[in-house]
A = this chain, B = another copy of it.
Amino acid sequence: MVLSGIWKRHENSKDPIPPNLVISHSKEVPPEDVQDICASVGWSRREPVLITKALGNSLAVISAWDDQLIVGFARATGDKVFNATIWDVVVRPSYQRRGIGLLVMHELLKDLDEFQIPLVTLYADPGTDGFYRRFGFMADPSGVRGMFREKI
């Protein structure tokens, strides 16, 4: 793993990026670890068997590890040709503000660029759009609106 390009340490970080941080591009992340990092930010629980299936059906999956602890995660779905959508970008709270989110996004976009996908989309939670703008994402260009249909 080379830390370069868009990645840099967060200006307000107290701690440096963990020296032994490992980035994985494998889709075979243990579902219990995905559950764990999602729970760390309060996201609702998903069934392990469904997590495994969803990761297998994703275009790209990135996870960041400090020794055995998962500290960052992101994935993308799509048609592998024309478009991709990024989901589940998450950094464990005790590891936030150290540049791990930037690093995870950078690695994910690198994978998508290898497929030469021209359009990458995502849905940004309130307050996170500045983070994504650093990677060239724009909100609602040309008046296009993200819409959602959710079934609980």
Chain A interface (Cβ < 8 Å from any Cβ of B): 46, 50, 53-55, 57-58, 77-83, 85, 87, 109, 118-126, 129, 132, 135-152
Contact = CB atoms under 8 A, between A and B. Distances in A.
Most buried by B among A77, A109, A120: A77
Number of copies: 2
Interface of A is mostly: mixed
B129 A145 contact: yes
A50 to B, nearest CB: 5
Nearest to A52: B81
A55 B85 CA distance: 16
Given A129-B145, A140-B145, A79 B82 contact: no
B147 A129 contact: yes
A126 B151 contact: no
